[in-house]
Amino acid sequence: MNDKPTGKDYVGSDDLYADVQRTMRLCAEMNSGYHTEAEVRDCLREITRGEVPDTRCSPSPSW
């Protein structure tokens, strides 16, 4: 009898796994629909655990 669990084994620390799961949840939340700039910045702050400047970038037209 095989005592090894089936499926994919996770290699890494529990903290890293928790960070990956948290980031995936936040990305799914951001992709679930429209969010204000402030809501997006809040999600990015939580993902990066850092400051996200309150700036807006307007891409140049690509004509």
Range of the domain at 34: 14-48
pLDDT of amino acid 11? 67
pLDDT of amino acid 3? 56
pLDDT along the chain (63 residues), means of 10: 55 82 91 90 89 74 69
Distances from the Cα of 28 to the Cα of 2, 53, 62, angstroms: 36, 22, 29
Q: Is residue 36 part of a domain?
A: yes
pLDDT of amino acid 7? 54
Q: Is residue 3 part of a domain?
A: no
For residues 37 and 56, give the distance between their C-alpha atoms in angstroms, rounded to a whole number.
Answer: 9
pLDDT of amino acid 18? 87
- Count of domains in the chain? 1
Q: Is residue 61 part of a domain?
A: no
